[in-house]
Chains A and B, each alone.
Chain A
Amino acid sequence: DTAVSQTPKYLVTQMGNDKSIKCEQNLGHDTMYWYKQDSKKFLKIMFSYNNKELIINETVPNRFSPKSPDKAHLNLHINSLELGDSAVYFCASSQDMLAGDPSTDTQYFGPGTRLTVL
């Protein structure tokens, strides 16, 4: 059984379009994340949700909007796609992110969604 799954695996679209990437985890974790990985493999955190509450919102254009309908799902919607949005987007989850308990900080990553904007 897949622990963290993402759909779609590949997404090719035109500039200006709106698209969504879905993420689901079946680990019973409280915290979920979205990361962007560029062509040089640099990993940048975008958002973090804990129990459906937004905890981390890094400097990301407001064209990116995360939505967490329940704690097992964290979807990413992107409006008005730009060429620079082309990257691999990873969803991840951890048991929680409460301070003081490092045993719950291990992150479990999905397989990634490769977004190509033409």
Chain B
Amino acid sequence: GDSVTQMEGPVTLSEEAFLTINCTYTATGYPSLFWYVQYPGEGLQLLLKATKADDKGSNKGFEATYRKETTSFHLEKGSVQVSDSAVYFCALSDQEGTSYDKVIFGPGTSLSVIP
């Protein structure tokens, strides 16, 4: 079945450092790919998404490119801030041979940004 793998955390960075959180997936179809962010004490919220190969999703300075050849959707930000401290979830949505799409979340990567 489909699956999502993320780099293990926690990740600790200094403010203004470059961020990469790796995400790779396996899917039977042509999935859509998502990054969700969970700030402390809150529910998840969509950060960005890409629906087909070579699409780039971007939001709040974060970017991720849908790479079909490497089955990856790595999250990047050029300069992180303390307010980016959160847990980041990579996810995919795939049909999996049914009438419905199924969304699968990765295990999450915790990011702490220190001043």
Contacts and interface: CB of A to CB of B under 8 A. Distances in A.
Contact of A99 (B38, B51, B99, B103): B99
A98 interface: yes
Contact of A102 (B32, B87, B99): B32
A55 B87 CA distance: 28
Contacts, number: 66
A102 B45 contact: no
B contact residues, range: 20 to 34
A103 B99 contact: no
B46 A105 contact: no
A73 to B, nearest CB: 17
Contacts of A61: none
Contacts of A4: 43
Interface of A: 4, 40-43, 45, 50, 55-56, 90, 92, 94, 97-100, 102-103, 105-112
10 contacts: A4-B43, A43-B89, A90-B43, A90-B44, A99-B98, A102-B49, A102-B101, A105-B93, A105-B103, A107-B103
